[in-house]
Amino acid sequence: MGLKREEVFVIRKIDFKESDHIVRLFGRKSGKFSGIAKGARKLESKFGSTFNLLNRSEVVYYQGSSLNFISEGEVLDGWESLKKSGEAIDVGLRCAKSIGELLGEEQPSPQVYSLFRDTLEELDADQRRPRLLEVGFYLKALKYLGFDPDLEDRCLSCGVDIDQESTLQFSPVAGGFLCEKCRGGNGMELSRGDRKSLARLKKLPQSRLRRLRVPERKLTRYYDLLNRFSEYHLERELVPRSLRTAPSDRGPG
């Protein structure tokens, strides 16, 4: 097979032997794939910082018998401001990890690629409230991959308008909200405001999410909702359990 040139994100990196990197890349056209960069760990390496985590880079590679071999690489975006914030880095790495878990091998998803780029651009431009961008990323990524929860203002079972009820129940099993008559014992109690906030986080572009007034304590509940939904429908956690522990409220956004 001939040489390929691809725009990629670096979503994982492993040291290999004395001077090599095995990297997990997410390409705009090729989806998720792995490759080896010979000599990338050497100080005088031609790759430079190409394979720093979260970098958007351009690589040239060819397919070997069991692993792709990367022959060239150049950084397109290094997100220097993002990487000055520990919380922003953590959000970026968790989003990268979810890409590695949600997408199949060499499964192209231009929409998820653009979403990840937009998320990192926003984190680089402004490091405030990164968890808001993270929840928005998960909701949109699930939508693009066809696994998203239903956040509409109707009961998923009988179709009645649920925004007239004082409290709502999200059912991870049903994958959406249920009215008082249809709800069961395994759901999450949420407010009408929560449903509307989640729907906006799913719908609005990442560049507009910081306009939403969502307190940090609410985001913890949304992490829990996403995890319970993904555990049932995808048989995996979407984000670490530690994020279900509410931080001190930092006020409305």
CA of 206: how far to CAs of 33, 120, 123, 247, in Å? 26, 10, 10, 23
Per-residue pLDDT tens for 44-70? 899 999 999 999 999 999 987 778 999
Per-residue pLDDT tens for 128-164? 999 999 999 999 999 999 999 999 999 999 999 998 8
Rounded Cα–Cα distance for residues 211 and 129 (Å)? 11
pLDDT of 18:
92
Q: What is the DSSP string of 161-216?
A: B-TTSSSEEEETTTTEEE-TTT--SS-EEE-HHHHHHHHHHHHS-GGGGGGS---H
Provide the residue ranges of all domains of the chain, joining segments of one domain with +: 4-77, 148-191+209-253
pLDDT of 253:
33
**Residue 229, helix vs strand vs coil:** helix
pLDDT of 131:
95
pLDDT of 244:
59
pLDDT of 245:
56
In the CATH scheme, what is the code of domain 4-77? 2.40.50.140
Query: Between β-strands 56-63 and 31-37, what pairing exists: parallel, antiparallel or unpaired?
Result: unpaired
| Mean pLDDT of each 10-residue bin along the chain, 253 residues long | 90 95 96 95 93 97 88 96 96 96 93 98 96 97 96 94 89 93 89 94 97 93 94 88 55 35
Q: Answer yes or no: are the C-beta atoms of 159 and 178 closer than 8 Å.
A: no
